[in-house]
Structure 1
């Protein structure tokens, strides 16, 4: 049976997610929502036409014949697209309360299904943890932190930890290369919010010109250290290690599609024999940010869909559930 999928947010990440789904048999994209509208196509979309409508006119609401312009696009999409099994929330978490507010919209609508996000910040995940009981009672199976980091690399850390009696530290380092920052405006703003002297509020308020001026100063490179990344709370919740033993940082090159460094996870611990060792998990340099975020997100959506079919609802994370490969 095909899983009917919706995507909320249709910027760089949402469009990449649509392209990933175009090659899948087990999932069909039937709903897309952006700031100014939504589109619903029960039999699936012409992905290229949807992307063209968004990029040329600013919204999938202009897509003929399925588009609808709306200032309340998420709520209207929930109401109209009745047969969606699960949504990938490819949304920027700006402000930091945004993802939780979207989850509340689904709860208040009484919607039943699967939600998956690729959220980054620890404090944002904590807000979703606060909604766990409401999600469960509504009949929603929500998977949070299901991108690359947190997500793929956190899951790798969870598996790697099994070799050790005690985990001393988890170090996640990412390299991201994109040809032009404008393709991932929201993602880059979220990264800027992690820079010293910046905040979510400052980054959200920055104009495109101000972002470009900042990137001009750094030659297009953003270097990030000791980020507030939810990998820490995901691993702490499982008892793998305290959150202060988890560090996340990386380098984002906004002017070069080649990664400035290899994305990797290093977990160091003590075995039951008393030996200190490190497991390293390195992603191939040829895999893009989009591939390493969208692929896991849909793998977790499939896993969450299987949970719901067994009557299991509530909040889960990428570190506690194995993703299922989507054919």
Structure 2
């Protein structure tokens, strides 16, 4: 399977580390804001990261890079035979991921796209494109990171023990040593704070983000987030979205998680018993591991669907990921 990565910030670079030991997937294409790189025989992770960090774009990679202000469009046109792309892109503004999906449709590209989108409203924008995606021959897997994604899928599986779901509560802890490695992700989290929204967070300078983090001692405490786990579980017929809550703590100065990430699914069994399943992620698994691993698992599943002629929009709560060897 020949795969590409769109976005080469912290998440995109981490994705290359996840792919490095895999035998079933070959990383051949990548794009950032200023350029792209493509090699049909595979890209070298260390060289790509070095060039990106030193010069600010994969477009400077010799001999496989190209500088471009239309990097996604030119890469898609240039990179023949890519089976699927992981969209490791910041969804800022909130319509950005839908605009990228539309770009692939308009280019006449056929294959698999996977995102790790967060917001409910962003998934709703993608739902408006589901017929067009199907007609275009694109299999689009949405919400395939950690949450939404891994934890949403766990909730869908755990729900099978019950005849009625009363609540799904997702609590996450994220620890990163340096917020600047995940600038876009942190801005997306800030957008969930009281008094902030997507546009305000997007417009913040690095200095303004740093000032906010200084005020909070590097911690972002997030409650009742607009997280697409709710619409994904609703679409899967598991429970109404108002029964799903998501919140957590992000420590931007410490790689150790401030709390364990878990999902609790409470419901009533056919015997009339009220019970709760809890699925807890290991504290030593990083945000990147819990996002990128599932993303490529869903990319593999999407490629299998695509080969069977199954196109359109799917979520992590509907399809089981396939382990990438």
Under a length normalisation based on structure 1, what TM-score does the superposition of the two structures give? 0.99
Q: Which stretches of structure 1, 4 residues or longer, exceed 6 Å deviation after superposition?
A: none
Q: 1:18 aligns with which of 16, 19, 25?
A: 16
1:224 aligns with 2:228: no
The residue that corresponds to 2:195 in the other structure is 197
1:296 aligns with 2:294: yes
Post-superposition offset of 1:238: 1.4
1:131 aligns with 2:153: no
Post-superposition offset of 1:82: 1.5
Figure out how many residues of one structure are paired with residues of the other and give that number.
Answer: 325
The SS at the match of 2:15 is: helix
Post-superposition offset of 1:140: 0.3
Q: Tell me the distance in 1 between the aligned counterparts of 2:305 and 2:153.
A: 18
The residue that corresponds to 2:71 in the other structure is 73
Consecutive unaligned residues in structure 2, runs of 5 or more: none
Q: 1:97 aligns with which of 92, 95, 102?
A: 95
The residue that corresponds to 1:314 in the other structure is 312
Post-superposition CA distance 1:181-224 (Å, at most 9, x none) = 00000000000000000000000000000000000000000000
Q: 2:157 aligns with which of 153, 156, 159?
A: 159
1:280 aligns with 2:278: yes
The residue that corresponds to 1:28 in the other structure is 26
- Aligned pairs (5 A) from 1:165-204: 165-204=163-202
1:206 aligns with 2:201: no
The SS at the match of 1:56 is: helix
Post-superposition offset of 1:25: 0.3
The residue that corresponds to 1:265 in the other structure is 263
Q: Tell me the distance in 1 between the aligned counterparts of 2:276 and 2:53.
A: 45
Under a length normalisation based on structure 2, what TM-score does the superposition of the two structures give? 1.00
The SS at the match of 1:262 is: coil
The residue that corresponds to 1:48 in the other structure is 46
Post-superposition offset of 1:239: 1.4
Post-superposition offset of 1:160: 0.4
Q: Tell me the distance in 2 between the aligned counterparts of 1:313 and 1:238.
A: 17
Q: Tell me the distance in 2 between the aligned counterparts of 1:225 and 1:56.
A: 37
1:87 aligns with 2:85: yes
Q: Tell me the distance in 1 between the aligned counterparts of 2:72 and 2:23.
A: 26
Consecutive unaligned residues in structure 1, runs of 5 or more: none
